[in-house]
Chains A and B, each alone.
Chain A
Amino acid sequence: MTSMTIGIRGGELVEPGGRRHAELLISEGRIVDVGEGVGEGADLVLDASGCLVASGLVDLHTHMREPGREDAETVHTAALGAARGGFTTVCAMPNTTPAIDSPSLVRDILRLAESVPCRVLPVGAITKGRAGRELAPMGEMAELGVTMFTDDGTGVADNALMRRAMEYASGLGVTLAQHCEDPALAGGGAMHEGEWSARLGIPGQPAEAEELMVMRDIALSRLTGARIHFQHLSTAGSVDMVRRARRAGVAVTAEATTHHFTLTHAECRTFDPVFKVHPPLRTSEDVAAVRAGLADGTIDAIATDHAPHTPETKDLPFDQAPPGMLGLETALALALTELDLPVERVFDLMSWTPARIAGLAGHDGSLRVGAPADICVVDPGQSWTVSGRAMASRSRNTPYEGRTLTGRVRHTVYAGRAVVVDGGDGP
């Protein structure tokens, strides 16, 4: 298979340096030629006319649910969805059952990832069992290639423990990522606390539950010198604090999800638990602040926080249903159409910079000879209607059900293999 050559013809290459019309020739997992007509005569020719051609997308935040909830998603089905969404690398969150908090579990994920159509980077837990009490063996996991650690699903609430975790991580050269949510102040709130939670009688969690932990982690980063990556920033206050911290030279990076720049807490008025997510959907002012943060570079990356849940579990009452929504197959279209950003910036946010945060070597967005053949080919003009049932996921909890989006992945090449061809799953 890897000896097969692939030509990508007719598209416009998008690289950090700009855009140009050229063809790609791929062989043995690498780009072997770039230029006029080089794709002609390849074993497999992918028609990219009218399309943008760029480095494959990198998701810093994917819940693959394996092990433990294979009824909702598996590494295989999540990877299929990722490939369809143009992703060639995803970071698998460790809040599985059991949590990814040991080398043997990291090995399990790596083994499961061997035969799927997308690169899977296991993310380790910061604390054992994500319980927030003792450090997990980050060093042993780092030796297996793990570059990022988080207790995602919850934040590390203990200030002293988080300080030690950051100090320890800085010695390993790995990045800690934080789900910022002060558990006491969040108080089990099922949506954003505000006008809509008051009207709907749903217990809310205030923006400050997120912001207090962002504030603390900026302080701890200053104290320890360790890098901190903020996951799914959702409030105007968080964006503002990160902006100021960056200016002050604190080593912070941040991601925002597609739903936090496209949906508000008003969606919850239907009581449909598909709109329940943590951090919760916020106000339109927060949405505007997240968009501004993406535009001015305060926020480094767009992540999906792809979080599958089976219909059975999502059919619970709103306050009892698990939080989370699907994202892999809708993220690129939303970013291309909702943000009013140049396409270079969209690929920077969804591929080039997240690759750097995830420690993915060689994935700098340049489509040069010798670069890894992880390629996303997207038709920015193609409209399609979102259907949870049509997605690769075992679940169908997309908040965009029935919406027409513009921008659809036509081909995905992962490690030199065509894993999505003409919008369909590859061989």
Chain B
Amino acid sequence: MTTETDIRDEISPEFAPGEVPESTPAPGVRHLLSLDELGADGIVEILRLTDRFAEVTRRRIPKVPALRGRTVCTLFFENSTRTKLSFESAAKRLSADTMSFSPGGSSVAKGESIRDTVETLEAMGVDAFVVRHGSSGVPWQLRSWVAPTVSVINAGDGWHSHPTQGLLDAYTLWRTLGTGTDDHPDLSGVHIGLIGDIRHSRVARSDVAAFTSLGARVTLIAPPTLLPPSLVGWPVEVSHDLDAVLPELDVVALLRIQRERMVEALIPSLLEYTNRYGLTASRATRMRPDAVVMHPGPVNRGIEIDSDVLDTHPGAVITRQVANGVAVRMAVLFKLLGSEAADPAQFGTGEGR
């Protein structure tokens, strides 16, 4: 049987057991609530760091001891499979301990408030909360409740923000398109079409922030009912006509459409939506051949995108987005929780293994 120490020794010979960097709380409070708060420099820093951790994830044993002894608690008030697993996987690859809380409605039934839940979990010794909630702003409330030493990471709040998704989408484009340099993430000159339910999408808001901060040109493509009620201050262009814009796009970023939007009379039917805004097989022929196709998942095959296009278009990077998601979240956790002294370069190159 292999113990954890053995694994660590095997993957990181540079670290003798006594030399594992202590995960002392970093000076100052560090959170990731939105990309606006992170800022352009912060975005660049995380993307460069992601490159290092992407290398770690490609190793035979993709695990480093950077966050040994730290505890990351996922707190998902809304169902999610991929984001929760991605964060847990990222935490484990950094050797952090993980806890998971999914209220599933029962605590509401028992009358426990979010605040009490968080304070209870905090008392068990949590260094970072990774929180998802169906209501916009909950991570901000949570930050005001926890001790200043506890980090809060937004894993998606309402329609508002999903910063790690924005970061992983930007990382995926930077590395797929080969823009900028290895040291300098950049999307200048790249025209990205963000298609679908922008109004209700936290992914769209974070993608816009991430893409435009790296210099990309972003066009929102949706019927007016699925656009935000105001676009004042959004550095984007808008179109209601996918066919007109599609041939110009370097990147076709699709968003998930939810069935309840029909009940709210925002679209007449899913069929009409697909006819006007879906990446159908015939429409796909009018894309640039080298266009990158993205989707945050889970995909409604046949609605946002034709099944064959999804499976065969060479520029479809949906699974790459998922893989990069783990590396981005490792970078985020490391930046927020890691010791100032620890340099991810010290984790070894992984070469020769």
Bound complex: CA of A320 vs CA of B141, how far in Å?
13
Chain A residue total in the interface (Cβ 8 A): 22
Q: Is the CB of A199 within 8 A of B140?
A: no
A201's partner among B113, B115, B141, B202 (CB-CB below 8 A) is B202
Q: Is the CB of B160 within 8 A of A200?
A: yes
Q: Is the CB of A195 within 8 A of B136?
A: no
Instruction: Check if B161 is an interface residue, CB within 8 A of chain A.
Output: yes
Q: Is the CB of B113 within 8 A of A318?
A: no
* Contact (A204, B137) CB under 8 Å given A312-B113, A319-B158: no
Give the distance to chain A from B37, nearest Cβ to Cβ, in Å: 11
Instruction: Check if A384 is an interface residue, CB within 8 A of chain B.
Output: no
Give the distance to chain A from B281, nearest Cβ to Cβ, in Å: 33
Within 8 A of B (CB), among A179-225: 193-195, 197-204, 206
Chain B residues with CB under 8 Å of A318's CB are 135-137
Query: Chain B interface secondary structure, helix, strand, loop or mixed?
Result: loop
Q: Is the CB of A206 within 8 A of B157?
A: no
Chain A residues with CB under 8 Å of B200's CB are 201
Instruction: Check if B205 is an interface residue, CB within 8 A of chain A.
Output: yes
Q: Is the CB of B160 within 8 A of A202?
A: yes
Chain B residues with CB under 8 Å of A204's CB are 229
Query: Chain A interface secondary structure, helix, strand, loop or mixed?
Result: loop
Give the distance to chain A from B298, nearest Cβ to Cβ, in Å: 20
Instruction: Check if B15 is an interface residue, CB within 8 A of chain A.
Output: no
Q: Is the CB of B114 within 8 A of A317?
A: yes
Bound complex: CA of A271 vs CA of B114, how far in Å?
15
Q: How large is the interface on B (under 10, 10 to 19, 20 to 34, 35 or more residues)?
A: 20 to 34
Query: What 0/1 pattern do residues 198 to 222 of B give for CB contact below 8 A with A?
Result: 0010100100000000000000000
Bound complex: CA of A156 vs CA of B269, how far in Å?
33
Instruction: Check if A140 is an interface residue, CB within 8 A of chain B.
Output: no
B113's partner among A193, A195, A315 (CB-CB below 8 A) is A315
Chain B residues with CB under 8 Å of A315's CB are 113-115, 141
Q: Is the CB of A202 within 8 A of B229?
A: no
- From B204, which residue of chain A is reached at the shortest CB distance? A201
Chain A residues with CB under 8 Å of B144's CB are 272
Bound complex: CA of A61 vs CA of B205, how far in Å?
39
Bound complex: CA of A272 vs CA of B133, how far in Å?
15
Q: Is the CB of B232 within 8 A of A201?
A: no
* Contact (A206, B140) CB under 8 Å given A201-B202, A315-B113, A319-B158: no
Chain B residues with CB under 8 Å of A272's CB are 140-141, 144
* Contact (A193, B229) CB under 8 Å given A201-B157, A201-B202, A315-B113: yes
Give the distance to chain B from A151, nearest Cβ to Cβ, in Å: 26
B140's partner among A198, A271, A316 (CB-CB below 8 A) is A271
Q: Is the CB of A202 within 8 A of B136?
A: yes
Bound complex: CA of A316 vs CA of B168, how far in Å?
30
30 contacting pairs across A/B (C-beta < 8 A):
A194-B232, A195-B230, A195-B232, A195-B233, A198-B229, A198-B232, A200-B136, A200-B137, A201-B158, A201-B159, A201-B161, A201-B200, A202-B137, A202-B159, A203-B159, A204-B229, A271-B138, A271-B140, A272-B140, A312-B113, A315-B113, A317-B114, A317-B133, A317-B137, A317-B138, A317-B141, A318-B135, A319-B135, A319-B136, A319-B158
Q: Give me 17 other A-B pairs in contact (C-beta within 8 A), A271-B136, A272-B140 excluded.
A: A194-B230, A195-B232, A198-B230, A198-B232, A200-B137, A201-B136, A201-B157, A202-B136, A271-B141, A315-B114, A317-B114, A317-B135, A317-B141, A317-B158, A318-B135, A318-B137, A319-B136
